[in-house]
Amino acid sequence: MENPDSVIKELFERRERDFLLSTVRVTMRTSLENIDVGDFTIGSVKESEAVEFPRWVAEELAELNLAEMQEEPFESEVSKALTREKMLGSPQLSSLNPDFYLKLRRRLELIKEAVGAGKFRREDYERLRANCYDLIGRRLSKLLALSSSLSGLETIGDKLTPEEKIFFSSSQTLSKEWKRALLGEAV
């Protein structure tokens, strides 16, 4: 059996590259003309103009306070997801956006760095981190329960992120092997 840890890590790395290359809308806080950001060239953009850039460019511009990303703050996305998960009993799962965990990882890393630089309060970071742990724990618990039942990926796959699909499939395989080893028959 392939090491699930390396499969998940490789999936995160590949998906994060794709995520960083996806476009995101920003509102310019200042005008720019013919600026190179890495290997990407920004032509002429005016202050308050809404434009789309690859996410990695948008994040750099936002960090330099040259643009503002037009996305819902991730902290509220986590709170909403956690609230939905709490409202649904086990083994029901709410849907998450496919890029949810990518945003989660990036936001936690960004805020952790900002705390170190004095740009963000440690309490806010700890609150977000605790909410993320709570959400992940609830979803993993539900996924484990579902993986040991007869439910297949086809019944819940539309509610799972790509990372959760791999976790579910791996858990289901292990659960079947465990039952087969204990009961001595095909499950």
User: What is the model's pTM?
Assistant: 0.80
Beta bridge partners of 68: 27
At residue 8, does pLDDT exceed 80? Answer: no
* 46 CB-contact burial (10 Å; exposed 0-12 / middle 13-18 / buried 19+): exposed
Model confidence over 122-177: pLDDT tens digits? 998 999 999 999 999 999 999 998 888 767 778 888 899 999 998 898 888 888 88
Q: Give 73-187's CATH code, choosing from 1.10.10.10, 3.40.50.2000, 1.20.58.2050, 3.40.1550.10.
A: 1.20.58.2050
Q: Please give the Cα distance from 28 to 62 (Å, whole number).
A: 9
Give Cα 49 to chain centroid, integer Å: 28
Model confidence over 174-187: pLDDT tens digits? 888 888 888 887 65
User: How confident is the model over 68-80, as a mean pLDDT?
Assistant: 87
Residue ranges of the domains in the chain? 21-71, 73-187
Give the Å distances, CA to CA, from 42 to 39, 51, 63, 68, 133.
Answer: 10, 10, 16, 15, 38
Q: Which fold has domain 21-71?
A: Ribosomal Protein L9; domain 1 (3.40.5)
Give the Å distances, CA to CA, from 63 to 45, 46, 178.
Answer: 17, 18, 49
